[in-house]
Amino acid sequence: MSAQGVMVMGLPLSRLAVPVLVLLILAMMVLPLPTLMLDVLFTLNIALAMIVMLVSLNSRRPLDFSVFPTVLLLTTLLRLSLNVASTRIILMHGQTGPDAAGKVIESFGSFLVGGNIAVGFVVFLILVIINFVVITKGAGRIAEVAARFTLDSMPGKQLAVDADLNAGYINESEARVRRGEIGREADFYGAMDGASKFVRGDAIAGMIILLVNLVGGVSVGLLQHSMGLSEALGRYALLTVGDGLVTQIPALIISTAAGIVVSRTSSEQDLSHEFSSQIFGRPQTLYVAAAVLASLGVIPGTPHLAFLTIAAVLAGLGYWLMRRQASDGDVEPVELIEEAPAPVDLTWDDIPPVDVLALEVGYRLIPLVDRNQGGAALARITEARRRFANDMGLVVPLIRVRDNLELKPNSYRITLKGVEVAHGELSGNQVLAVDMGDVLGRLDGVSGVDPLTGLPGVWIDSGREEEAELRGFVVLTAAELIARQVESVFRQHAPELLGRTEVQQLLDTLARSHPGLLEDVTPRYLPLTSVQAVLQNLIAENVSIRDIRTLFETLAARAPKSQSIDDLVETVRAALGRSIVDRLFEGSNTLHVIGLDASTETRLLNEMGDEGEALLSPATLDALNDAAEHGVALQESESHPPVLLTSPGLRAVLSRLLRRNLPRLSVIAYAEVPADKIVQVSTELTIGEGT
């Protein structure tokens, strides 16, 4: 059974390993350990250091060993806990002999330094200096610089991923993986920058523990066990040196592994292969080194055997490499001819997809759309998409954001299905003060327009924001202006954003909440394209489709009798009448509307006949538009919403005819007005008889 399959207290053993290890390390600092257990743990510490070293050598890139900062902390904590445990045993039982703290400490103190205390102290000091001054300091500096460069390069890498995604070279899942690797790389080098302080502190702690063991041990021997100074110094110094060496050697190995990890660059080969291929891969360098060593070997007084032997080995290795490369060169052309790939023809997959909505910015506006630099515009766009979804019931597709070096530095543009639909230019130190109609006084500056509402404004310096707000102006920053421009685009072109994919997602949501209702509509009576057309018609007239249940209940009742799109739309509008009227009149009980003169209504119906608006004469169309403009102006002068109330037979036709010149005019039918509302015609639309 694998470790994953073993369950302890309802959790897999692999998930309990690290918590148990940490608890054991902390326990070793408090609980006394027998010498046998201490020998086992010291041996485990050395083995763990070797494993970490081998893993670092075989890693092809730093992220392959991303857990290394945590491993560095745990191994450092393990060594310090072993120091505490061994110090306790040395001070309590050091008088019993050199094996008082276990066989491992005895062997390091007696065998490795020959029992010479002075040599042991010198070796320990050298190991600490190498670890502290050379390896740890260098690895920490590399990690610090790598972390700084990685963080500085993150925006460019993120934009490169977005560019590849938008060009179609990678898909969404691959883009998420690459973005995750970029974030993990920055986190790794940042963690390594801090983790290097663990090793530095470990080296300092090792020196302090050495002094504590020596001074404390000699004091215990003199005061508690009545030893002589030389005897106490001999016993406790030997144990102290052994304890210091048995922990500093694994510490040196771990520090070396840290240096290898942070100094590695990403590669498809392990370190051993790169080392052999890059250092010993050129026979010419081996020949030169062999010649230099041979020249030194024939000089009188030099160790001839050592120099000449190594020179012969290098020369032989160079000759072997040259023969091997020559044999590979004889075969290589044949392999290239046989394995030469055929030219790849152009396929449909090579054509990059067209983004539904895209925002392109000049390089000076990148901080406004880069999440790593705040991305204020992105946050505003997300709020606008959420607000539009709650208002209209339509989720706007994700908006691709990319930099475009062809634009001016402070410019941006918005494309819809690859075609530019809006553009603008901003100034980094100016904001737009918008006049909402109740301002006090005027502001000096270049005139501008709010892209969302169309209200006039004035460009002012950012330092005058407080002055503008005190006068009643609404101040819009550069990020807000970009977001409002994007919002105006997707509100204006909302029907084009409702594609088959979005409709299918909507139907999938409905199927989960009301599965039977969906089956009664599509595909039983209406195909997906008809459902899409109905929804697009409603969105085009600013009718919210958020009440999807009522909408599909109406379709389920009407679709068996008629599949005409216009008929279905009018039926759905009547069912959603209360919602439509409430949005237009903001909950008012009295509806002040524009009415259609009876003679005008009769004339329109007679001219259209069964063919609809196609038979209307140009003179009638011009008169109708002029009358509508006059009626809208009168309505707005009286602070009433521009709403035209007409019969169901004319509503769709008038809406299509008047929407182009008067997009703010809404046309509703009598059937859409709830029974509890009072209708008052405040303006009457009339076409003269002579037109």
Digit-coded pLDDT (tens) for 104-135: 777 776 665 565 667 767 777 777 777 767 77
Give the pLDDT confidence score for residue 150 in this predicted structure: 66
Task: Write out the E strands in 351-477.
Answer: 357-361, 399-403, 411-416, 419-425, 430-434, 446-449, 456-461, 474-476
* Domain annotation covers residue 34: no
User: Could you say which of 254, 275, 296 is where a domain stops?
Assistant: 275
Q: Same domain for 69 and 170?
A: yes
299-323: per-residue pLDDT in tens?
777 777 777 788 788 788 777 777 7
DSSP 8-state class, residue 588: -
Give the pLDDT confidence score for residue 8 in this predicted structure: 47
> Residue 504 sits in a domain of what CATH number?
1.10.8.540
Q: Same domain for 599 and 482?
A: no
Residue type, 224: Q
Cβ(430)–Cβ(462) under 8 Å? yes
Q: Same domain for 164 and 306?
A: no
User: Could you say which of 495, 528, 556 is where a domain stops?
Assistant: 495
Q: Same domain for 423 and 535?
A: no
Q: Same domain for 80 and 136?
A: yes
* Domain annotation covers residue 1: no
In sequence order, the 6+-apart residues with CB closer than 8 A to the CB of 609 are 615
Cβ(267)–Cβ(126) under 8 Å? no
> What is the edge-to-edge ordering of all strands in the sheet holding 474-476?
446-449, 456-461, 430-434, 474-476
Q: Same domain for 491 and 509?
A: no
- Residue ranges making up the domain that contains 92: 7-27+41-275
Give the pLDDT confidence score for residue 25 in this predicted structure: 73
- The three-state secondary structure class of 97 is coil
Q: Same domain for 664 and 560?
A: yes
Q: Same domain for 62 and 138?
A: yes
* Domain annotation covers residue 63: yes
pTM tops 0.85, yes or no: no
* Domain annotation covers residue 341: no
* Domain annotation covers residue 399: yes
Give CA–CA dist 427/410, Å, rounded.
6
Give CA–CA dist 606/596, Å, rounded.
15
Q: Same domain for 268 and 288?
A: no
> Residue 431 sits in a domain of what CATH number?
3.40.30.60
Q: Same domain for 501 and 491?
A: no
Give the pLDDT confidence score for residue 405 in this predicted structure: 83
Pairing of strands 590-596, 474-476: unpaired
Q: Same domain for 179 and 227?
A: yes
Give the pLDDT confidence score for residue 484 in this predicted structure: 92
Q: How many domains does the chain have?
A: 4
* Domain annotation covers residue 344: no
Give the pLDDT confidence score for residue 668 in this predicted structure: 92
Give the pLDDT confidence score for residue 89 in this predicted structure: 76
DSSP 8-state class, residue 60: S
* Domain annotation covers residue 264: yes
User: Could you say which of 495, 528, 546 is where a domain stops?
Assistant: 495
Task: Return the residue matching tokens 């109609």.
Answer: 437
Low-confidence ranges of the chain (pLDDT < 50): 1-11, 266-268, 329-340
Q: Same domain for 460 and 393?
A: yes
* Domain annotation covers residue 669: yes
